[in-house]
Amino acid sequence: MISYAEALALINDVVKPMAAAHLPLRELIGAATSETVTSNMAVPGFANSAMDGFALRANDTVSAAADTPLTLNVAGIVAAGDPPPDAPPPGASIEIMTGAPMPAGCDAVVPIERVVTQGETNGVIASIRIETPATPGQNVRAAGEDFMAGQPVLGSGCLIEPHDVMALAATGIDAIRARASARIAIVTTGSELTASGTPEQDGMIRDSNGPYLEAFIAQTGAQLTARRNVPDAAPALDAALRELASTTDVILTTGGVSAGRYDLIPDAIKRSGGKVIFHKVAMRPGKPLLFAQLAGGTLMFGLPGNPMAVAAGLRFFVVPALRRLQGLAPEHYLTAICDAAIRKRADLRFFGKAFATIDSEGRLRARLLPGQESFKIQPLTAANCWAIVTEGREHVAEGELIQVAPLYPTRFLQPVPAPMG
């Protein structure tokens, strides 16, 4: 049995970042950048109006006041999508719509709500009256105000989310080099398992691990390639591993990794020509967890069968491996004040179902929830984080500090390269 830190070190040693590929925008969610991505163009590409109103020269309005309003002729109209118009005559304005290019020579826009319009000919307002001077740059979006051409948009090692796709599209980028999300297969083992939608039978257990793993994978952006339920029979397990190893990057199995008669995973790995990297970690829940590499290089995590052992193994072993495959930095966890004393075995790392809150002074506080047994799912539905107590600590007193991790990976407070400026 090895420590959690030793297990992570072995994962980092075995798992190497996947090769990058040229991916179009529609395939980027869940992928990670493999290099810094720079803007192909300035955004906005030209000076344009931030408001519906009237474009003018600010210097023409310096005399405007409530008791001496200024009247300006309107020389035309420009809408979004129109080419930039010529400069209006001195002392005149041009009606302008939001997003329309600024007329030559104009440096300010007065919102339509701040003027009094006067007369109209063929749909064009004749003149406007204003009572307040405009200032240069007022309600004008300058060219390159958001992004300059050549400016970094995303750093290397950034997990791509929908708002990143927005930025890439806006800056004229149709595809980038990135590492796609991993291809994952799920194998739930156990002759006692029944799938949802099947009639209940005495002695049978409803499979909750398979749907949970599938949902978790979907949330991370990884690609689910297959999901199998295999009975406790060596030939069936061998066949499943052979089938899936050639089409996936990672296989997740549940059950079959303890020391019982029907715990068949370790021997199945050996028969397949694979290698067990480690088996059993000093942790709770999930001590029997196994990590292996199959003959073709496919990674395999053997998660114990109890639901909370699956959840902890997935969160604290599989997620770090998936990040490593995509060239992402390790996650940062948060520090919280322990709201109630915790006792555990000093030689184990403990991952506990917990609930965190922010107190009136802005401090993060966390409390373990009752029902920490590895078979109990209900407390996880009330949790919003995992409390992490490291080896060497047998007792954590109320008020002492512990680490907490969100139930699911998040970009919030993570080491994400996001170049600005």
Give the start-to-end residue ranges of the domains of the chain: 4-18+182-325, 24-42+148-181, 48-141, 334-406
Q: How far apart are the C-alpha atoms of 6 and 41, rounded to whole Å?
A: 47
Going by C-alpha positions, the residue among 349, 417, 291 that lies closest to residue 9 is 291
- As a CATH number, domain 24-42+148-181 is 3.90.105.10
Architecture in CATH of 48-141: Beta Complex (2.170)
Distance of alpha carbon 320 from alpha carbon 277, whole angstroms: 16
**CATH number for the segment(s) 334-406:** 2.40.340.10
Amino acid letter, residue 323: R
Handedness of CA 184, 185, 187, 193 (dihedral sign): positive
Q: Would you write out the chain's pLDDT as a tens digit for each of its 421 residues?
A: 999 999 999 999 999 999 999 999 999 999 999 999 999 999 999 999 999 999 999 999 999 999 999 999 999 999 999 999 999 999 999 999 999 999 999 999 999 999 999 999 888 899 999 999 999 999 999 999 999 999 999 999 999 999 999 999 999 999 999 999 999 999 999 888 887 777 777 778 888 999 999 999 998 889 999 999 999 899 999 999 999 999 999 999 999 898 777 688 999 999 999 999 999 999 999 999 999 999 989 999 999 989 999 999 999 999 999 999 999 999 999 999 999 999 999 999 999 999 999 999 999 999 999 999 999 999 999 999 999 999 999 999 999 999 999 999 876 555 555 555 5
Write down the pTM of the prediction: 0.86
The two tokens of residue 93 are: 């304005």
Neighbouring-strand partners of residue 396: 342
Residue 96 corresponds to which tokens in the numbers above? 């302008």
**CA 328/CA 322 separation, integer angstroms:** 9
Report the CATH superfamily, name and number, of domain 4-18+182-325. Answer: MoaB/Mog-like domain (3.40.980.10)
- Is the CB of residue 48 less than 8 Å from the CB of residue 108? no
